[in-house]
Structure 1
């Protein structure tokens, strides 16, 4: 009797150790892609000599030498040299960024070309890359509701195990059969397999350059029936370009573009980038700043004092209605010739419209196909929101086959629209990229930030894409749905296997020791199977006719 009890206790203890190992192994595999593994580094001493030291002996304010092809292991400031640095691990940007003296570099990024000496500002746990790893660890706390339900179900089953054990002893008088019932615990397998499946799905997303902040966001993405897109930089290409600059006054086209670029260069928005890039292309340099402090009105426009005059740049609503810039009948006729094809940026000085900048922002090449695939995967409602004019919005919606859209939408209106749609019983995904999308991203059940999103949008979003491709939305949908399928499959296996083992034990066919072995063995196998990448390899997209 005691031999059997001892065996059971040993097997249960071994099972607990193996379960903990499996969970930790799954978590670690999610983090390993971001870990920095460097043994030795080169530093410059105070007398200018170069010496190699173990990485573990590197300390703050050391002068670290980093050459072409090397991984930067610390956060620091460049004190000498210049280099092209690939910051994909931090920003998702595939193109290298040029940095020289005084610029900040981050651990986990790579020097593609050049040599630099960096003053060590932060090392190990203090670096931004390790803060991201810590965020991944903490993200497990953002449990999916299905995981919480699994844990509640598991906890509710435990008392029934004791009831069945007691009834078995009272009816049969056999302590052996009663112990057999006690050794079969449904809750053990449920509590192990569900979080492992969720963490594994997050790991698979990470390997596909998709950052997910918690399991509950994958569940929400899998079950959502409505997706809302911002237009500019999301459904359209992330690099719109200037199609035309039209003067409506005494300033030349180039002068309007030069002044607009001077104002816009301070803001990380795709339209601002288009304007500044066109100015560079035309070699329109403004030299020193021409303006005083710039005020950016989110999703509206910009106000500043340029060469001593109040200057505004932005949407028609902002420039004409809010700032009361005058538009004559002749100017309006010129504008109407272009608003059907382009998004129009208005440029006014001292209450007079001086010109317009026509922005061509064609849809992404993959956008229409992605929307069709999402419909096939159960997304019933696809909605586009934009601050652009009705004509620009309708043109994009027609090209992409979107039935529902709203134009000239303000940031607070986007959030209100999301709330209205949720109030009708829909589960909403919001996809955006700009500061103006942040309120709507926060309001949605689950939000997605595009690769070139503003820092604020990335901070607010639940999921961030690190590739400039809408196809990853289909990948997330498939991945999250397969995660739920795996969890439901695990439930069925747990019920079938453990019920079978309990019946065999109650009938006396197998001993409590064998029951314990079978129960714990099946629990471990289900847990290990949940951690396998093979569960998510078949991300087969629906076949469509576009």
Structure 2
């Protein structure tokens, strides 16, 4: 539930048919998160762009000119959620190109004008920089603004007005390019939040009518034709179509859908026409959930980013002490000013978030949703992966392959008995048994007093006789029924890697069913790729017997350990024990009972068909039913960390070299400022460009969004 604040005082400063400039004092709130606010406004249908200027307490909004859009924007701004005020409103506005040009021309004028005129120009240009530095000192903070103010002040003290003005101009130019890089990286994420439609067509009483998107309800029959975006999740009830899901799953090949198939919001129909029944609307649709996670990712920093920021702040006093100390020893203002123009802070602080945001955008287009920067960070550090077998390494689509009768029942009678008891149980095993019975055309008997025993089985009464269906542990140990009559058949099934389902009636064993869950075809290749990508240990958890589990593991040579015959609560215990042993752990699961393990692991990973609770608990969601997405995510995370490290090493190496040259007097202040700003912009640009490149060579390629 989102909590909203009291409406804020707001005024419209200027307005054109498709553009508004709004002003409100709350836009200067120190806790405001400007990126988050812009992301929220840009998700309003019809809004094209939002640009916030905190210093001016204003924001400029471009939209489609519709009255409904204008009203939605004003309503949103006046009733903002509290989450918008959980940030730090320390973002600097983008310097205008006109402002940069004026500063450049005035700096050039200082070189040619007499000292009296040059002094006034330099003082005017330097005043804002010096003021920012004084404010930092007043707040007892030694930040990069203090370095800039000191460098400019030393140049003015030397009456080197051209140098003072040039430093100010170069600072603005560097800030401009740094901000452009940051805006582009943030914009990549925001591009995934854009809504594509505000009205939808539905079929009602035999007629097609258009309704606002927000009025759609579960069960509505939505109509979509060629070129249209599927606005909400649903299940096809009529028609066929080829749909492009690249913006959601990263898969560029169109998918053919027909009645009975599910469609995902955000997909685009390339050919055909379908009518589908809405299954999720509003905040429950796939696109809405992705938007929420990406909005959060704009705010929260990872541990690596926080450490980078802390280190950058610690390096500022080093540079400041070096500059002041050099002046104290040599009385050379030029050397001191040159040293103070070089700092590590900007590039270290900016390269990390730029790389992270571009990496998250790349991951989303590769079919992997990362819930924030911390998920990316954790995924890169993981050295142990724990798989819940069913639905992850296997397809999770069990099939009855063998039937063994221990009494007088034939195969159909035994299968029908088991299916009758299981028909109300929402579990993959139950679905497989009921499906097999229906495939054979078997009628199911009425049941009464049905009792589901979690992770054990089902107890039901059929024709006044108690029927038990479940594991051997449930039938034999809990209910005291002898199962030895099926030992030979059970052993044969287990050797083939099949799961067992025992059926008993009125205190006697009736038989055993053998079920097989097919291994995902990509599982072996993905596990080998993960080993090559630095995963030291791969572990499988399953409720199957040891024989069945070992048979599965034998077909996967890169599996290191298998834990069998587990209860749901055992999974979280194993995860906790592995973490105590020092493992940095990733858990891959998709069921409701996997939620505790997903939360307790360093990073939880879920497939798209996982239970809602599993998706909420996981930090990484694969958007395709394919384990290759897991390898994709790992490689993206590793590459991002490598980029950040390379940017850090480059920043420290280059700036240390500049400091040394400046200390020796081999760099004048202007040259030092040029080298520092060029290297900063270059490193930040490298961090963004490197992450935007296609990174995988194993068959997963980034797709261009339609």
* Equivalent in the alignment of 1:544: none
Other structure's SS at 2:555 match:
helix
* Equivalent in the alignment of 2:455: 299
Where structure 1 has 5 or more consecutive residues not aligned to the other structure, the ranges are 542-546
Residue 92 of structure 1, CA deviation: 9.5
Alignment check: 8 A CA contact 2:640 2:691 kept: no
Equivalent position to 2:500, from 321, 338, 344: 344
Other structure's SS at 1:532 match:
helix
* Equivalent in the alignment of 2:623: 466
Residue 205 of structure 1, CA deviation: 1.8
* Equivalent in the alignment of 1:318: 474
Alignment check: 8 A CA contact 1:61 1:120 kept: no
Q: 1:294 to 1:171 in 2, by over 3 A?
A: farther
Q: How many residues align?
A: 529
Residue 61 of structure 1, CA deviation: 6.2
Residue 67 of structure 1, CA deviation: 2.9
Determine the C-alpha separation between the residues in 2 that align with 1:411 and 1:90: 31
* Equivalent in the alignment of 1:236: 394
Other structure's SS at 1:143 match:
coil
Determine the C-alpha separation between the residues in 2 that align with 1:213 and 1:105: 23
Equivalent position to 1:8, from 167, 173, 179: 167
Residue 47 of structure 1, CA deviation: 12
* Equivalent in the alignment of 2:646: 489
Which stretch shifts more, 336-345 or 386-395? Answer: 336-345
- TM-score, normalisation: structure 1: 0.82
Equivalent position to 2:319, from 137, 161, 170: 161
Q: 1:152 to 1:266 in 2, by over 3 A?
A: farther
Determine the C-alpha separation between the residues in 2 that align with 1:229 and 1:437: 10
Alignment check: 8 A CA contact 2:476 2:483 kept: no
> Which whole-Å deviations, capped at 9, do the CAs of 1:62-120 have from their partners, x for residues lacking one?
99963333545644999x974568696779996747469xxx98742456754449899
Other structure's SS at 2:317 match:
helix
Q: How does 1:44-443 map to 2 (within 5 A)?
A: 60=215, 66-69=223-226, 71-72=228-229, 74-75=231-232, 82=238, 96=257, 98=259, 107-110=265-268, 114-116=273-275, 129-249=287-407, 251-258=409-416, 260-261=418-419, 269-284=427-442, 286=444, 290-291=446-447, 296-304=452-460, 310-322=466-478, 324=479, 326-341=481-496, 342-401=498-557, 402-443=559-600
Residue 519 of structure 1, CA deviation: 1.8
Alignment check: 8 A CA contact 1:66 1:72 kept: no
Residue 154 of structure 1, CA deviation: 0.8
Residue 538 of structure 1, CA deviation: 4.4
Residue 279 of structure 1, CA deviation: 3.2
**Larger Rg, first or second structure (1 or 2):** 2
Which stretch shifts more, 3-12 or 375-384? Answer: 3-12
Which stretch shifts more, 517-526 or 271-280? Answer: 271-280
* Equivalent in the alignment of 1:456: 613
* Equivalent in the alignment of 1:27: 186
Alignment check: 8 A CA contact 1:268 1:454 kept: no
* Equivalent in the alignment of 1:498: 655
Q: 1:120 to 1:50 in 2, by over 3 A?
A: farther
Alignment RMSD: 3.9
- Looking at both structures, which has the greater relative contact order when contacts are Cα pairs under 8 Å and sequence separation is at least 6? 1
Determine the C-alpha separation between the residues in 2 that align with 1:295 and 1:389: 23
Determine the C-alpha separation between the residues in 1 that align with 2:542 and 2:278: 44
Q: 1:305 to 1:437 in 2, by over 3 A?
A: farther
Determine the C-alpha separation between the residues in 1 that align with 2:213 and 2:661: 61
Alignment check: 8 A CA contact 1:74 1:121 kept: no
Alignment check: 8 A CA contact 1:298 1:435 kept: no
Q: 1:232 to 1:455 in 2, by over 3 A?
A: same
Residue 226 of structure 1, CA deviation: 1.9
Determine the C-alpha separation between the residues in 2 that align with 1:314 and 1:415: 23
Equivalent position to 2:676, from 497, 504, 519: 519
Residue 193 of structure 1, CA deviation: 0.4
Residue 382 of structure 1, CA deviation: 2.1
Determine the C-alpha separation between the residues in 2 that align with 1:81 and 1:450: 25
Q: 1:46 to 1:472 in 2, by over 3 A?
A: closer
* Equivalent in the alignment of 2:689: 532
